[in-house]
Amino acid sequence: MKHKPIQPKERLQKLYGENYLIVNEFDPKMAAVCENGTFLGFRDGETLAFRGIPYAKPPIGALRWKKPVAPDPDDCVYTAFFNGKTPIQTEWPTEVASYYPQSEDCLYLNVWVNPSYKRKDRAVMVFFHGGSYGWGGTADPLYDGKNFVTEHPEIVLVTVGYRTGLMGFVDFSSVPGGDAFPDAPNLGLWDQIESLRWVQKNIRAFGGSPKRVTIFGESAGGGSVSLLPCIKEAKGLFRRVIAESGSVALTFSKEDCQSFTKRLMKEAKAGSMDDLLKLSEEDLKRINEKINAYNCFPQRDGILIPEDPYLPYAEGETADVDILIGTNANEINYWVGELGGIAAFRCGIPVRLENDLKVMKESGVKRARSFLKRKKGHQIWRMAEFYNELMFRLPAVRMAEEHKANGGNVYMYYWREPSTIRFRGACHAVELAYVFGNLDETIYTGKRADDEIARLVQDMWANFAKTGNPSVGRLKWPQYERRDRSTMVIGKRSYVKMSPLDWQRRLLYPLLDYRINPSYAEMDYNVPYIRGLATTAVLTLVAVVAAVGGLMRKL
């Protein structure tokens, strides 16, 4: 008899447990003595794993929607066997951590160490997950650090949970009493900063060096690690950055954030912050189900994040940080799955395009139209490539060019190895299984990831974290320079390419100044594409696009 495969929800819930206080004897070789407690890890293959270590006080009660607060000193001993809870979010198939128990109390991190490596100055890699700043969590098996640290015992790997969605990125400035919560628009970033402060204070207990910290992340995590070098409160907390498919462009203006606040107040039936603070955790989960698709990204508030998010790079404020940044060849194809199939994708992309063209001047529209005319292939894939450039590739290029021009070290990659899932290509998130070495986590790759490519990319990432140079053996990876735009193409055959897709860059680069909102949730359906369809088709299309349009924005 064939065994029924374990479903994601069942799989995640089987992993759940509660860490607890130890009052009996324990093996000190399995423990790490930190400022806020001694944490007992466990053998995980060849590694020693520590799960669910608190890096801040629980952001509940009086600390709801407040900046994270460092934990109190503690000399007690606790198990570190289980992940901390996932931040509040809607359950969703491609965000596997959403099936793990959720809570406001979610500020925990995990650490993996390979005991076979005896030096105490290991390089440290700290990972921030993606999920459109509204999803994701450390319980996702895709982010398990065991395989990476098994192959690279000279690395200490850390994965961090942070507040997302309505708990992590919400602007209360228009709400009575909201002036007491000025940090709420960017709490998820404040959480990340607090986790890095914890790492600086405690990572020696795991054999890591606080002077050799590399932060890395994908999608919203890639956006986070791109923003952190711009924030003065994060200065000195890390030395290097690896940004996968994310950049400073994944941000909102203050105006962009207001509709989410209005939706929150309406669904909560609240008139003030006092009303919101009275909500139970179960109330918040219920409300989140209604509004999660409209969640905000980090806010360009002019305080923590400048209104021009590229400005710190252009002014050399980030020059002391080494950066490795890149994107995948077919980022936007990820949303074929998020929308439920190719039919909905074909409906949604043209609507999104016409919405964005509305905000452009005639010169910008001409550039966009020229690109779509010149690019070969089916119309829908030409539009997808337009967004690959505008949302992902060109922001990464701009960051790299500004950083290099002002004295920073920067390396660029272009991921070509595709998923085997139909219509996906080298889509958003496809590289994650390779990076972590979790080759059997096939949610994005389709089939088991290629061992050789996985070894290569892990060696690249680890070498960069250790030395600031991602070159591997004879495969020399030159720094990105404006004059030749050296880029490492990663796939079954990896090689350096000069000025890839150069005509696309030159044609579309000026469109970055429009700061196109990465949200797909609030599109206007009164556009020529919709009006040009038959009445019956319009009714069907609007129903489909309205139902799933918001989910296209999950970066």
Instruction: Report the pLDDT value the prediction gives residue 519, as an integer from 0 to 100.
Output: 74
Give the 3-state secondary structure of residue 252.
Answer: strand
The torsion defined by the Cα of 359, 364, 367 and 370, in degrees rounded to 10, comes to 50
Q: In the annotation, is 219 catalytic?
A: yes
Q: Is 318 exposed, middle or buried (0-12, 13-18, 19+ CB in 10 A)?
A: buried
Instruction: Report the pLDDT value the prediction gives residue 548, as an integer from 0 to 100.
Output: 46
What sign for the dihedral angle of Cα 22, 26, 32, 38?
A: positive
Distance CA(129)–CA(188), nearest Å, equals 11
Task: Tell me which amino acid residue 477 is.
Answer: W
Q: Identify the CA nearest to 521 among candidates 244, 136, 251, 256.
A: 256
| Residue 542 binned pLDDT confidence (cut-offs 50, 70, 90) | low
| Residue 1 binned pLDDT confidence (cut-offs 50, 70, 90) | very low
| Residue 517 binned pLDDT confidence (cut-offs 50, 70, 90) | confident
Instruction: Report the pLDDT value the prediction gives residue 522, as an integer from 0 to 100.
Output: 65
Instruction: Report the pLDDT value the prediction gives residue 536, as an integer from 0 to 100.
Output: 45
Q: What digits encode the pLDDT tens for the residues 25-66?
A: 999 999 999 999 999 999 999 999 999 999 999 999 999 999
Q: What is the mean pLDDT of residues 300-322?
A: 96
Q: What is the largest CA-CA distance in the chain?
A: 74
Q: Is the pLDDT of residue 2 over 60?
A: no
| Residue 360 binned pLDDT confidence (cut-offs 50, 70, 90) | very high
Distance CA(293)–CA(271), nearest Å, equals 22
Q: Is the pLDDT of residue 523 over 70?
A: no
Q: Is the pLDDT of residue 551 over 50?
A: no
| Block residue for tokens 């595709």 | 418
| Strand 487-490 versus strand 410-415 pairing type | parallel
Instruction: Report the pLDDT value the prediction gives residue 6, as an integer from 0 to 100.
Output: 72
- As given in the structure block, the two tokens for residue 292 are 């999660």
Q: Is 549 exposed, middle or buried (0-12, 13-18, 19+ CB in 10 A)?
A: buried
Q: Is the pLDDT of residue 535 over 60?
A: no
CB count in 10 Å sphere of residue 406: 15
Spatial contact of 249 and 397, defined as CB atoms under 8 Å apart: no
Percentage of residues of the chain with pLDDT beyond 70? 93
- As given in the structure block, the two tokens for residue 302 are 């002019």
Q: Is the pLDDT of residue 534 over 60?
A: no
Cα 320–chain centre separation: 23
Spatial contact of 545 and 525, defined as CB atoms under 8 Å apart: yes
User: Distances from the Cα of 166 to the Cαs of 218, 304, 460, in angstroms?
Assistant: 21, 19, 36
Q: How many CA atoms lie within 13 A of 35 on its CB side?
A: 14
Q: What digits encode the pLDDT tens for the residues 60-91?
A: 999 999 999 999 999 999 999 999 999 999 99
Q: What is the mean pLDDT of residues 181-192?
A: 98
Q: Is the pLDDT of residue 207 over 90?
A: yes
Beta bridge pairs of residue 128 = 160, 217
Q: What is the mean pLDDT of residues 219-228?
A: 98
Beta bridge pairs of residue 86 = 102
Q: Is the pLDDT of residue 149 over 90?
A: yes
Distance CA(29)–CA(298), nearest Å, equals 41
The mean pLDDT of the chain is 94
Instruction: Report the pLDDT value the prediction gives residue 547, as an integer from 0 to 100.
Output: 44
CB count in 10 Å sphere of residue 43: 10
Q: What is the mean pLDDT of residues 403-426?
A: 98
| Residue 269 binned pLDDT confidence (cut-offs 50, 70, 90) | very high
Distance CA(427)–CA(332), nearest Å, equals 6
Q: Which of 98, 132, 195, 219 is catalytic?
A: 219
Distance CA(327)–CA(454), nearest Å, equals 17
Angle at 482 between CA 478 and CA 484, to 5 degrees: 60
CB within 8 A of 282, min separation 6: which ones? none
Instruction: Report the pLDDT value the prediction gives residue 233, as an integer from 0 to 100.
Output: 97
| Residue 374 binned pLDDT confidence (cut-offs 50, 70, 90) | very high
Model pTM score: 0.95
Q: Identify the CA nearest to 49 among candidates 165, 182, 157.
A: 157
User: Distances from the Cα of 361 to the Cαs of 228, 310, 389, 395, 460, in angstroms?
Assistant: 32, 22, 19, 20, 42
Give the 3-state secondary structure of residue 436.
Answer: helix
Q: Is the pLDDT of residue 541 over 80?
A: no
Q: Which helix (H) or strand (E) holds 230?
A: none
User: E strands within 368-454?
Assistant: 410-415
Q: Identify the CA nearest to 138 among candidates 61, 242, 53.
A: 53
Give the 3-state secondary structure of residue 437.
Answer: coil
| Residue 516 binned pLDDT confidence (cut-offs 50, 70, 90) | confident
